[in-house]
Amino acid sequence: MSGIFNSSSGSQFATEEIGGLLNPARKQKIWAVGGGKGGVGKSLVTANLSICLSLMGYKVVSIDLDLGGANLHTCLGIPIPDLTMSDYLNKKVTSINDLLTPTPINNLFVISGAQDDMGIANLKQTHKNKILSALTDLDTDFILLDLGAGTSANTLDFFMAADQGIITTLPEPTSIENSYRFIKSVYHRKLRTMEEFLELGPTIDQGLNAKISQNHTPADFISKVIQNNPSLGNKLRSEINKLNPKLIINQIRTQADIDIGFSMKIICKKYFGINLDYVGYLDYDATVWQSVKRRKPLLMEFPNSVLVNNFDRIVHRLLNIN
């Protein structure tokens, strides 16, 4: 059997199990913010989308799953909370509701990430499942997850379990490359979630390790499977079609920076067959680092910042209100 199925992250069917842990009829909408690279604005986006939603009257819980590098609380203007996700996983508290810490914004609570050296990549499968099934215990309209950097299997599983998976990137080659790597990892993780793929294990492995080129794209891979086994190939394609990640370009300075989002959308369709939904951009602006220095939430501290309009447009896109 192929090596990918012996992954230390646990079962190859993890996302199917996760689907079962999160009742589709649940009332809470889950948005997860990820992306391959560090320092691209994931915590900024999580914090300020949470603020936008709470200002619109929704109840929101913002959860820091960047377990090793938790700092979402600072973006929301509060000191490190006494209780963190570790206390729930280590059974110091019995309910995830015990972790809810109020913020200066009405309707908005934060659950802080671990302050010890527990990283999301090292999270045991039982702990991941415990967090996921606890999300439905939260009496809230929205749950926003700050996933931190990287493409660990756990990060990908949280990203795929969410109703909206949001990728944040900078308009720089290194960051864009990391975003494609993140999308490629999501793509392969998704393929591995179907039992029928066991027979395709080695082929998926080859696809994962291959360098993407004009003549060798993940989308071609599915076309080849369709040729050889139409029923299986079409199932694969339908699973991939369900992936509809959102993209935010952060720290834009020029029109060319804004346009990168449209190019990435086209490339994702061509190479992965994935519909990447470009939901908006955020200007590069001094108010961002000034608010971080003051440890205050950006949108509250600088209500005239250009970022207010940026976030407003993005949140309306994500809510499907135009």
From Mg ion, ligand ATP, none, interface partner of 250 (C-beta below 5 to 8 A by class): ligand ATP
Residue 18 backbone phi and psi in degrees, to 5? -65, -40
Please pick, from the candidates 34, 36, 41, 261, the single residue that binds ligand ATP as defined by CB under 6 A: 41
| Per CB under 6 A, 5 contacts ligand ATP | no
From Mg ion, ligand ATP, none, interface partner of 285 (C-beta below 5 to 8 A by class): ligand ATP
| Per CB under 6 A, 43 contacts ligand ATP | yes
Decide: residue 211, CB within 10 A, 0-12 exposed, 13-18 middle, 19+ buried.
Answer: exposed
Residues 48-77 that bind ligand ATP (CB under 6 A): 66, 69
Please answer whether residues 186 and 160 qualify as being in contact, where contact means their C-beta atoms are separated by less than 8 angstroms.
yes
| Per CB under 6 A, 289 contacts ligand ATP | yes
At closest approach, how far in Å is the CB of 129 from Mg ion?
Answer: 24
Taking the least distance from each CB to ligand ATP, the nearer of 166 and 191 is: 166
Q: Up-side HSE of residue 160: CA atoms within 13 Å toward CB?
A: 33
Q: Which amino acid is at 231?
A: S
From ligand ATP, Mg ion, none, interface partner of 39 (C-beta below 5 to 8 A by class): ligand ATP
Contacting range for ligand ATP; rule: CB under 6 A; set: 17-25, 34-42, 54-62, 179-187: 34-42
At closest approach, how far in Å is the CB of 282 from ligand ATP?
Answer: 5
Please pick, from the candidates 18, 30, 32, 44, the single residue that binds ligand ATP as defined by CB under 6 A: 44
| C-alpha 282, offset from chain centre | 17
Helix locations, the chain, DSSP H: 14-21, 42-55, 72-75, 85-89, 125-135, 153-161, 173-191, 201-209, 218-228, 230-241, 255-272, 286-294, 298-301, 306-318
Taking the least distance from each CB to ligand ATP, the nearer of 262 and 289 is: 289
Instruction: Taking the CA atoms of 42, 47, 53 and 56 in sequence, report the sign of the dihedral they define.
Output: negative
3-state secondary structure of 61: strand
**Dist CA 254 CA 187 (whole Å):** 31
| Per CB under 6 A, 288 contacts ligand ATP | yes
At closest approach, how far in Å is the CB of 318 from ligand ATP?
Answer: 18
Place of tokens 């999501």: 186
At closest approach, how far in Å is the CB of 114 from ligand ATP?
Answer: 14
Given the rule CB under 6 A, which residues bind ligand ATP? Answer: 38-44, 66, 69, 148-149, 250-251, 282, 284-285, 288-289, 292
